[in-house]
Amino acid sequence: MVQDSIRILQAQGYKATKPRKLVFEVLEGIGRPLSPYDIQDILRARGKHLNHVTIYRTLDLLCSLNLAHKVLSSGRFVKCSLAAIEGCHRFMICQQCGAIREFADKQLCQEENDFARNLGFHTEHHFSEFSGLCSQCYSK
Amino acid sequence: MVQDSIRILQAQGYKATKPRKLVFEVLEGIGRPLSPYDIQDILRARGKHLNHVTIYRTLDLLCSLNLAHKVLSSGRFVKCSLAAIEGCHRFMICQQCGAIREFADKQLCQEENDFARNLGFHTEHHFSEFSGLCSQCYSK
DNA sequence: GCCTAAATGCAATATTATTGCAATTAGCTA
DNA sequence: TAGCTAATTGCAATAATATTGCATTTAGGC
């Protein structure tokens, strides 16, 4: 919910401005990774205008608060589910339709971090991206 | 080894040109993620000049052959170890010193793919990045 | 409603990436 | 080893993406 994200924003001392709400709505409504300019275009089509600089700054902020995530393979942004395990983001991205789905699994996350630790590496954040086909596109 | 990579290139019908060898040498020698322009700068410092377009095209080719990998969080490129499990790339990146290490674990890879499959997702490629501290930086 | 710090928009600029085409080169063949 | 040809590179132009400083506007506390 956009509301939840806004609340988190405010709890950290950031203002709940119109541009920020608009960006949230787009990310949440579209549900697939979007570039800053994608977001601008979508808003334009809805009769709203945001300067690209504002969008860049908003996305930076959202990412720093883990409210959004920069999808690694495309450089596009997607809204994070708030339920994501801290420091662990795992996304499935359908190559066909572009749908993106975040999922969290505590055990898997733990195993990966343990694996790294055995190699002497102390993990703080950890991103995984799966690209392939979602069930709908696969069955076609 | 640069030689191995060149061999793979040729086996696929691509020419073993000077620019490609130079890019390989840089990626292999430096051992941390580099942007196309980083690569150009490093070469310039060695008295070699490559046009940035050539570097872009070379990196595209290397990535398509899985000989290099675009590091997701930074947009920089790193040479892939040839032993990487097909379709699965896992990197540890030290936030402090920038060192990058690729590692492969068949079991972990399998588990992740199984996990996705249980959610109806058919994985083709799969990238993981761990950011944190390497053992050296951690002990400081 | 007023005030102030925070946030936005604008303009300029920097950085990164792509394209078409002419010039060059790797590697095959004689 | 020289010549041939397709593949590759370099160049110039341009497009796309990202950043900065500063004047203007706005959210939210009073």
Question: Is the Cβ pair A112, B124 closer than 8 Å?
Answer: no
> In Å, what is the CA distance from A109 to each residue of A10, A37, A69, A85, A113?
29, 33, 17, 8, 6
- A48 CA → D8 C1’, Å: 46
Q: How many CB atoms lie within 10 A of CB B7?
A: 12
Q: How many CB atoms lie within 10 A of CB A6?
A: 18
| pLDDT at A73 exceeding the cut of 70 | no
> In Å, what is the CA distance from B18 to each residue of B22, B48, B55, B59?
6, 11, 12, 14
| pLDDT at B58 exceeding the cut of 90 | yes
pLDDT at A80: 47
What average pLDDT does this structure show over B116-137? Answer: 84
Q: Tell me if residue A98 falls in helix, strand or coil.
A: coil
What average pLDDT does this structure show over B53-77? Answer: 77
What average pLDDT does this structure show over B81-102? Answer: 66
More confident of the two residues B28 and A99: B28
| pLDDT at B84 exceeding the cut of 90 | no
Is B138 in contact with A117 (CB distance < 8 Å)?
Answer: no
Query: Is the four-CA dihedral B25, B31, B35, B39 of positive or negative sign?
Result: negative
pLDDT at B81: 45
CA max distance for chain A: 53
Question: Is the Cβ pair A112, B128 closer than 8 Å?
Answer: yes
pLDDT at A101: 75
| pLDDT at A28 exceeding the cut of 60 | yes
| pLDDT at A57 exceeding the cut of 80 | yes
How many whole angstroms separate alpha carbon A92 and alpha carbon A139? 17
- B2 CA → D18 C1’, Å: 34
**Closest chain B CA to residue A128:** B128
| Distance in Å, alpha carbon of A103 to nearest chain B alpha carbon | 9
- Range with the lowest mean pLDDT among A55-59, B27-31, B79-83, B127-131? B79-83
- Range with the lowest mean pLDDT among A114-118, A134-138, B96-100? B96-100
- Range with the lowest mean pLDDT among A84-98, B9-23, B45-59? A84-98
From chain B, the residues in CB contact with A73 under 8 A are 70, 72, 127
Residue A10, CB, strand C, below 7 Å: no
How many whole angstroms separate alpha carbon A134 and alpha carbon A137? 5
Question: Is the Cβ pair B133, A122 closer than 8 Å?
Answer: yes
Q: Is B86 on the interface with A (CB under 8 A)?
A: no
Residue A57, CB, strand C, below 7 Å: yes
How many whole angstroms separate alpha carbon A7 and alpha carbon B87? 40
Tokens of B107: 């079991």
pLDDT at A68: 81
Question: Is the Cβ pair B70, A70 closer than 8 Å?
Answer: no
Considering only the beta carbons, identify the residue of A72, A121, A133 that sits closest to B132: A121
Question: Is the Cβ pair B123, A131 closer than 8 Å?
Answer: yes
Q: Is A118 on the interface with B (CB under 8 A)?
A: no
Residue A53's pLDDT band (cuts 50, 70, 90): very high
User: Residues of chain A with pLDDT > 90: what percent?
Assistant: 30
Q: Is A85 on the interface with B (CB under 8 A)?
A: no
Chain C bases closer than 7 A to any CB of the protein: 6-12, 15-20, 25-27
Q: Give the domains, in start order, of chain B with CATH numbers.
A: 2-79 (1.10.10.10), 88-138 (3.30.1490.190)
More confident of the two residues A98 and B136: B136
More confident of the two residues A87 and B132: B132
Q: Is B125 on the interface with A (CB under 8 A)?
A: yes
Is A117 in contact with A124 (CB distance < 8 Å)?
Answer: no
